[in-house]
């Protein structure tokens, strides 16, 4: 993608498409609706994108790529181990914010669209970065040497499910409070900190 595509109408189409896909899913949104909302013609849309599905793939690749970049910055930043893990959870939540059930459903129930492959490929990259981070942290003595990395991966996935539990989230004034509670529980368990 060259720089001319990253300005003006391209960005209008990209931003509008992302918002509509995130809200209504891919199947329910038409190219006509994207163009109308973005204030461009269909000819302009097709100048940049071959079709709606390829457009959705581009959006996913860009968004996931941005998330991976932010993740990498956290991993290689100057934060403490605890703060890095907290920031990783926040990034994960921000990355899925505003995504509708329709969008997720379109991806998983229609593997023929090829969007699931895009997500799985990026998910593997993300998982690899996280495993490398945990392994390196374990070697440095920042986490217990006797804990299995696979257990940490399983446990963190379970924690992420808590953040989408509306009943649990409603018990906290702010989502960040729940994140901090989960982080403190992860690091300190039930026992008071000494």
Taking residue 26's Cβ as centre, other Cβ atoms within 10 Å add up to: 23
For 52-188, CATH gives 1.10.357
- In this prediction, residue 24 carries a pLDDT of 93
- In this prediction, residue 6 carries a pLDDT of 67
CB 48 within 8 A of CB 35: no
pLDDT tens-place string over residues 101-142: 788 888 888 888 888 888 888 888 888 999 999 999 999 999
- In this prediction, residue 145 carries a pLDDT of 92
91 compared with 10, residue with greater pLDDT: 10
- For the chain, the domains span 1-49, 52-188
The whole-angstrom separation of Cα 20 and Cα 84 is 32
* Superfamily (CATH) of domain 1-49: Homeodomain-like (1.10.10.60)
167: which residues sit within 8 A by CB, 6+ positions away?
none
The tokens 């996913």 sit on which residue?
A: 60
The whole-angstrom separation of Cα 90 and Cα 50 is 34
Split at pLDDT 50, 70, 90, the class of 187 is confident
Q: Nearest-CA neighbor of 21 among 114, 93, 101?
A: 101
Q: Rounded to two decimals, what is the model's pTM?
A: 0.75
Task: Look up residue 80 and give its two tokens.
Answer: 């403490």
């Amino acid at each position: 993608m060259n720089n001319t595509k990253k300005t003006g109408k391209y960005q209008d189409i990209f931003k509008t498409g992302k918002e509509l896909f995130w809200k209504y899913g891919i199947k329910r949104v038409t190219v006509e609706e994207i163009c109308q909302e973005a204030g461009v013609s269909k000819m302009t849309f097709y100048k940049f994108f071959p079709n709606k599905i390829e457009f959705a793939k581009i959006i996913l690749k860009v968004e996931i790529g941005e998330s991976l970049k932010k993740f990498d910055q956290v991993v290689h930043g100057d934060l403490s181990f605890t703060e890095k893990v907290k920031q990783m959870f926040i990034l994960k939540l921000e990355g899925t914010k505003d995504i509708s059930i329709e969008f997720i459903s379109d991806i998983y129930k229609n593997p023929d669209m090829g969007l699931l492959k895009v997500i799985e490929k990026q998910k593997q990259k993300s998982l690899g970065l996280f495993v490398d981070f945990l392994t390196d942290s374990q070697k440095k003595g920042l986490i217990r040497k006797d804990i299995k990395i696979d257990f940490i991966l399983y446990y963190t996935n379970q924690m992420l499910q808590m953040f989408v539990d509306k009943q649990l989230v409603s018990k906290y004034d702010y989502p960040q409070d729940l994140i901090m509670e989960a982080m403190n529980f992860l690091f300190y368990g039930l026992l008071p900190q000494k």
